[in-house]
Structure 1
Amino acid sequence: AAIQCLKRKRLYEQQIEQLGNFQLRIHDQMIMLEGAKATTETVDALRTGAATMKAMQKATNIDDVDKTMDEINEQTENMKMIQEALSAPIGAAADFDEDELEAELEELESAELEEQLLQPATTAPAAAVHAPPGRQPTRPVPAKPTPEEDELAALQAEMAL
Structure 2
Amino acid sequence: MRKVVFKDIDGKTKKLMLCQTKGGVYLFGYYSLQDSSADWDHFFCTMEDASECCIEEYAINEEDWIIIADQPIHCQQDFIIPTRIKGREVGKPVFGHLQRFVRGQWVDYEIPEKCISFDGLTGDQRLFTTGLVFEYEKALIEDKAKAIKILKALNFDKPSIDIIIG
Structure 2 length as normaliser, TM-score?
Answer: 0.15
Higher RCO by CA contacts (8 Å cutoff, separation 6 or greater): 2
- Name the structure where helix makes up a greater proportion of residues: 1
Structure 1 length as normaliser, TM-score?
Answer: 0.15
**Greater Rg over alpha carbons, structure:** 1
- Name the structure where strand makes up a greater proportion of residues: 2
